[in-house]
Amino acid sequence: MNIQAIKQRFGIIGRSNSLDHALSTAARVAPTDLSVLISGESGVGKEAFSKIIHALSARKHNTSIAINCGAIPEGTINSELFGHEKGAFTGATSERKGYFETVNGGTIFLDEISEMPLDTQAFLLRVLESGEFLRVGSSKVLKTDVRVIAATNIDLLDRVKAGKFREDLYYRLSTVPIHVPALRHRREDIYMLFRKFTVDFAEKYRIDPIQLTDDARSLLERYDWPGNIRELKNVAEQISVLSEDRTIDAPTLETFIPNVSRSKLPALRSEGANGESMQEREILYKLLFDMKSDLNDLKSLVFELIQDNDLRVPERQMKQLEGPSENTSREIREQILVDRQPDTNDDMDHVPPDLSKPIILPSIGGRYAETEEVDENLSIEEMEKELIKKALKKHKGRRKDAAQDLGISERTLYRKIKQYEVP
């Protein structure tokens, strides 16, 4: 049976490729007895796919039943699925057959399989592997021939990693996986489904069907529909009942779906004293511009330090300082490179800067004051010791904060304090 025939037979609306692929997979696996795992968000129509698989299988004349595993209490689910003997537990006044016994030869659709308790998962695995099961309170092994179709709206592998779902059962169930796409991933089908729901409702209650203007249709198709087809059907029927006007425009549609025009862009809003708000993107742009300005100032300072103190810097390192700022002209950068050419062809990486002369800090826009020439202590140990003292003083002796400020571990700071005998 081709895809179009399946859609007509089972009332499937849509023309998206992802929907066609799911239907094609269901049609191919239907004649077999393989287990099927149907995944997809809530409201996408997973149960409809289980009905298609059963109707196209050799079991179509036998019973098919749908069971919501999340709706059955944990204490009674084993009895519901596999049955129980009289007196097996409090309230078991008589013998009872479970679904796997009564649906023998048919199909069981287990919805929300992720909610199934771990002990029940072990019993289900045995049924899938050997067709054997035990009633609660019985030691007699019974046999059944049931095809299992499971469905989930969450990632079962995440449940496996969390230890809440058996890995062996997952692979046994997902012999053939089918993913039913969410409505937002098949936007070309949204208006078709809406029209189907409104026309069916109008025919049932003998009223005129709802019509959408172009702007309302565009708004309808842009909405993400978190409730998927179930939500779309509810909205279509709600509009059909409550709207006096049979032609719906965008403002009217918004009254039925308040969030339909809300932007889905990730943004944070910060309300100020004047009621002003700033989007996250604007904050990010401001931060980047500030960083660029600071970087340009730093580059400008480095270039003027090199020029004013006659430092010898390798040419390729100079080239890495591209575009320091608008205050530093191209002629200055070229002149620095010319003045710093080495006397030999040796690699400039081995030529250290001349530290015999004091470094004079330039004044850029009046922000840097002139410095006084002092004798520099070049002892690394003394410099480390001095930095540790300053950090401890800054944080009032709190070594953890001082270590974080210095960029070292607290353990390393303790060792350095002991080594340098820092009070």
pLDDT digits (tens, 9 = 90+) for 280-312: 556 666 667 677 777 777 777 777 777 666 666
pLDDT tens digits, residue range 357-375? 555 555 545 454 454 555 5
Q: What is the CATH number of the domain that holds 111?
A: 3.40.50.300
Q: Are residues 10 and 120 in the same domain?
A: yes
The answer, yes or no, to whether residue 266 has pLDDT greater than 50, is: no
Q: Are residues 176 and 80 in the same domain?
A: yes
84-98, 143-157, 251-265, 319-333: which is most confident: 143-157
Q: Is residue 94 part of a domain?
A: yes
- CA dihedral over 341, 342, 345, 348, signed as positive or negative: negative
Of the listed ranges 20-29, 199-208, 343-352, the least confidently predicted one is: 343-352
Q: Which residues pair with 412 in a beta bridge?
A: none
The proportion of the chain whose per-residue pLDDT surpasses 70, expressed as a percent, equals 76
Q: Which residue has the higher pLDDT, 245 or 373?
A: 245
Domain end marker among 128, 154, 181: 181
Q: Are residues 362 and 403 in the same domain?
A: no
Q: Is residue 45 part of a domain?
A: yes
Q: Is residue 219 part of a domain?
A: yes
Q: What is the CATH number of the domain that holds 192?
A: 1.10.8.60
Q: Are residues 77 and 226 in the same domain?
A: no
Rounded CA-CA distance 267/263 in Å is: 9
Q: Is residue 134 part of a domain?
A: yes
- CA dihedral over 404, 408, 411, 416, signed as positive or negative: negative
Q: Are residues 100 and 164 in the same domain?
A: yes
Q: Are residues 194 and 59 in the same domain?
A: no
Mean pLDDT over the full length of the chain: 81
Q: Are residues 101 and 172 in the same domain?
A: yes
Q: Which residue has the higher pLDDT, 335 or 214?
A: 214
Q: Are residues 176 and 297 in the same domain?
A: no
The answer, yes or no, to whether residue 388 has pLDDT greater than 90, is: no
pLDDT of residue 217: 93
Q: Is residue 99 part of a domain?
A: yes
- Smallest Cα–Cα separation from 133: which of 71, 212, 192, 78? 78
Q: What is the CATH number of the domain that holds 390?
A: 1.10.10
Q: Is residue 228 part of a domain?
A: yes
Mean pLDDT on 345-366 = 50
Q: Are residues 15 and 94 in the same domain?
A: yes
Confidence of residue 347 (pLDDT cuts 50, 70, 90): very low
Tell whether pTM > 0.75: no
Number of domains in the chain: 4
Confidence of residue 413 (pLDDT cuts 50, 70, 90): confident
Phi, psi of 143 (to 5 degrees): -115, 150
The answer to whether 23 and 7 are in contact (CB under 8 A) is yes
Q: Are residues 109 and 215 in the same domain?
A: no
Mean pLDDT on 109-120 = 94
pLDDT tens digits, residue range 46-102? 999 999 999 999 999 999 999 999 899 888 899 999 999 888 888 888 889 999 999
Domain end marker among 356, 373, 390: 373
Task: Please give the C-alpha separations between residue 140 and each of 82, 86, 146, 157, 209, in angstroms, as whole numbers.
Answer: 12, 14, 19, 34, 59
pLDDT tens digits, residue range 7-53? 999 999 999 999 999 999 999 999 999 999 999 999 999 999 999 99
Confidence of residue 271 (pLDDT cuts 50, 70, 90): very low
The answer, yes or no, to whether residue 259 has pLDDT greater than 90, is: no
SS (H, E, C) the chain: CCHHHHHHHHCCCCCCHHHHHHHHHHHHHCCCCCCEEEECCCCCCHHHHHHHHHHCCCCCCCCEEEEEHHHCCCCCHHHHHHCECCCCCCCCCCCECCHHHHCCCCEEEEECHHHCCHHHHHHHHHHHHHCEEECECCCCEEECCCEEEEEECCCHHHHHHCCCCCHHHHHHHCCEEEECCCHHHCHHHHHHHHHHHHHHHHHHHCCCCCEECHHHHHHHHHCCCCCHHHHHHHHHHHHHHHCCCCEECHHHHHHHCCCCCCCCCCCCCEECCCCCEECHHHHHHHHHHHHHHHHHHHHHHHHHHHHHCCCCCCHHHHHHCCCCCCCCCHHHHHHHHHHCCCCCCCCHHHCCCCCCCCCCCCCCCCCCCCCCCCCCCCCHHHHHHHHHHHHHHHCCCCHHHHHHHHCCCHHHHHHHHHHHCCC
What is the extent of the structural domain holding 312? 290-373
